[in-house]
Chains A and B, each alone.
Chain A
Amino acid sequence: MWNNFRTDERLGVSAETITFPGGNDDAIHAYVAQPIAGGQVPGIVAVHHAPGWDEFYQEFSERLSRHGFTVICPDLYCRFGHGTPDDVAAKVRSQGGVHDDRVIADCQAASRWLRSLSTSNGKVGIIGTCSGGRHALLAASRVRDFDAVADLWGGGIIMSPDQLSPARPVAPIDFTSQLEAPLLGLFGNDDHAPSPEHVDIHEAELKKFGKNYEFHRYDGAGHGFFYYHAAAYRHEQAMDGWSKVFAFFDKYLKA
């Protein structure tokens, strides 16, 4: 729960950019936030959204870390060159995005990096928003490196044939049977990608295969309702959503 710490606790996080071996052992950047209190803690891979490896994701990682997780946010756009986040994201956009397989490989490498830490308790979750939510679900469905997954309004879980592309050859929903990690989903009912109808279809598929999931759908919220830097921000829904994220990862990663 947010703002529920004891005032006599040793508080704080350390955060910085590192270079680590990503997918294919490529040296890529990642933003890492770690609690300073020490002890054995779980890890979380934060998968950034389409607007890029940006300041929101630095703060997103720090907030998660402040609640007792070591968080690594790999720069999925690192191989496209460097500049401001919006310039790099525009270049990636012009090239059709990052291939799903490359994202999965980077997330898997990030998970293994977390588990290798002497401070790891052996458990790793994955979370993302927007395209990062889609990628988080895809990674958790296709590799066995995650103990819990949170998809925050990931669009493109369900894709029509004309939406498939060289970079996104298979819709994540088609891997539902392979998902073993428990899934948290947060969605705004005013969103168009994913729409409430898409969320219904996804939920039906999860039920069909008997998966462990919990979905929370928010009225009065659209896409990106955690984004306090944007018009999409909805403080009431966002704070409730954060409480769901913390409770979910506490349950599956700290127990």
Chain B
Amino acid sequence: MNNRSRKEKQMCTMIATSTVVNGVGKGAEGWFPITRATVAYDHSTHGNADHALLLDFANYDRGVDARLAIELDLASSKALLNDLQAAIEAAETVSAPRPAAG
């Protein structure tokens, strides 16, 4: 996924960020292109917490419901962030250009 544009957004808690991304996601009707990711901390729609980290992966060109939604507590979010960071660093290591021989 690429950070082609990044905008700070504001909702009730005023904690929301939306980013144009390039990827795919699998929903109820199969795989579809993902064009926008939004990260927020706001009211939880489901779960026992009042608030949650809200992750939305969407393609609104395909309709309002073309969205993969995840709500996480903060501890899980931090663990996920660590795993994402570690995976990205490892990926960049293995995909880095090899130095020329000799």
Contact = CB atoms under 8 A, between A and B. Distances in A.
Interface of A: 49-51, 80-84, 86-88, 90-91, 93-97, 130-131, 155-156, 159, 163, 165, 167-168, 192-193, 222-224, 230-232
Contacts of B42: 50-51, 93
B38 A94 contact: yes
A91 B50 contact: no
A95 B63 contact: no
Contacts of A192: 13
Interface stretch (B53-61, B75-83, B85-93, B94-102): B53-61
B63 A50 contact: no
Given A131-B11, A231-B49, A93 B65 contact: no
Interface of B: 7-14, 16, 18, 36, 38, 40, 42-45, 48-51, 54, 56, 58, 60, 63-65, 67, 69
Contact of B8 (A81, A156, A165, A231): A165
A96 B45 contact: no
A90 to B, nearest CB: 5
B46 to A, nearest CB: 9
Contacts of A222: 50
A223 B50 contact: yes
A50 B51 CA distance: 12
B55 to A, nearest CB: 10
Nearest to A129: B12
B45 to A, nearest CB: 5
A49 B43 contact: yes
B9 A90 contact: no
B12 A96 contact: no
A163 B7 CA distance: 13
Contacts of B10: 96-97, 156, 163, 165, 167-168
A88 B65 CA distance: 8
Given A50-B12, A91-B58, A163-B14, 18 more contacts: A50-B42, A50-B43, A51-B43, A51-B45, A81-B60, A82-B64, A84-B65, A87-B64, A87-B65, A90-B58, A91-B64, A93-B9, A94-B58, A97-B9, A156-B12, A167-B10, A192-B13, A230-B50
Given A93-B40, A130-B43, A230-B50, A80 B18 contact: no
A155 B14 CA distance: 9
A168 B49 CA distance: 27
B28 to A, nearest CB: 12
A159 B7 CA distance: 18
Contacts of B36: 94
Contacts of A80: 64
8 contacts: A50-B11, A81-B64, A84-B65, A91-B58, A93-B42, A130-B12, A163-B10, A165-B8
B35 to A, nearest CB: 10
A18 B11 CA distance: 27
